[in-house]
Amino acid sequence: MDETTVPHRKRIVGTKQVTRALEAGAVETVWLAEDADERIRSVIEYLCHRQGIVPVAVKTMKELGENCRITVGAAVAAELKDNEFR
């Protein structure tokens, strides 16, 4: 498993879910697509910085979506610290 592979069991995908989880301090790792909208990137990068998390860069939203095993692109995905946050 390389750095850009998103584990399935503790994964959330999408800006709203990842933002909520970051604000709750429930995120272990964040993957952020380099071609995501700049407004999304800046919010996620700010929240990651507040939590001391360095986002893992993924080239495209399509690639991130594929790594998350979904059929559409994804701007951001995260691995949770535990399965209790939903």
Contact between residue 12 and residue 70 where contact means Cβ atoms under 8 Å apart? no
pLDDT digits (tens, 9 = 90+) for 62-72: 999 998 889 99
Predicted confidence band at 22 (pLDDT cuts at 50, 70, 90)?
very high
Single pTM value for the model: 0.87
- The Cα–Cα gap between 8 and 79 comes to 8
pLDDT digits (tens, 9 = 90+) for 24-38: 999 999 999 999 999
Tell me the domains of the chain and their CATH numbers: 11-80 (3.30.1330.30)
